[in-house]
Structure 1
């Protein structure tokens, strides 16, 4: 995952800076040990046997907060859309009643992923990002 997330331009909207493999491993270990509602799946491109990004959901009382990231070299292929749609579909087979994502208003690609996954923008903002949501 450190390779997939290594482009500094990728962090314009997600914040922070690229982590080393060791730093990323430590971060994942902290997240896995944290609240039981955190779920994270890596996106693997089988044809290239390459990890290229992730989708995640933090679930609390029937509401899942979503995020998705695909590394720069693999963007524009519909992989984030396919992964986000699969995640939303799976979440609605669980005890999740609503999915939410917060997207920067200038991040058109992420907004397109959210729309394709069935979320719609609201008039609510959080930390400068638009709240998108869908209900089961």
Structure 2
């Protein structure tokens, strides 16, 4: 099975650029607000910690059937500032990753607090979902969202995901399936 590789994704106002180690210093500033960790846990990472994380992500998962696709979100084109990240963990369906036909893509997004409230997360998530839908090997697209994180729920809904009622580690699974006429909770 071939790994899925991140490519540049363009939207009206954004460029989703495959993440590189060189982005770590700027992203450490973007992600430095402790408020970003209210629902996801942890604390802001230093530039060196992000550099190490980026290097691990670039190496990819040990499982050859999986892919880690990570992007930085750039506002206003190639030279604009970085404002967040989006990611897709792609792999076969299984007990921890339920899904229909094809691979399952678990997606996530984070936008720095200074760029929030402008529809950037929604635009980035829609761009990512659109890109994933162009890959015939990807079936279901899912996100795991804390039940109290209303902003992320709104982003998921705008990207075409619906809550399933399934829970994992205190978060609700949201799903955009490719199965015509079948609502996520019915599967």
- What is the TM-score when the length of structure 2 is the normalising length? 0.70
Structure (1/2) with the larger helix percentage: 1
CA distance in 2, matches of 1:46, 1:92: 24
| 1:1-136 correspondence to structure 2 within 5 Å | 1-35=27-61, 37-46=67-76, 49-61=80-92, 62-94=103-135, 95-136=137-178
Q: CA deviation at 1:49?
A: 2.2
CA distance in 2, matches of 1:83, 1:104: 19
Structure (1/2) with the larger strand percentage: 1
Q: Equivalent residue of 1:97, what SS?
A: strand
CA distance in 2, matches of 1:6, 1:128: 24
* Equivalent pairs, count: 136
Say what the alpha-carbon RMSD is for the aligned residues: 1.3
Structure 1's consecutive aligned runs of 4 or more residues displaced over 3 angstroms after TM superposition are none
CA distance in 2, matches of 1:24, 1:58: 18
Q: Equivalent residue of 2:118, what SS?
A: coil
Residue of structure 1 equivalent to 2:184: none
- What is the TM-score when the length of structure 1 is the normalising length? 0.96
Which structure would you say has the larger Rg?
Answer: 2
CA distance in 1, matches of 2:177, 2:131: 13
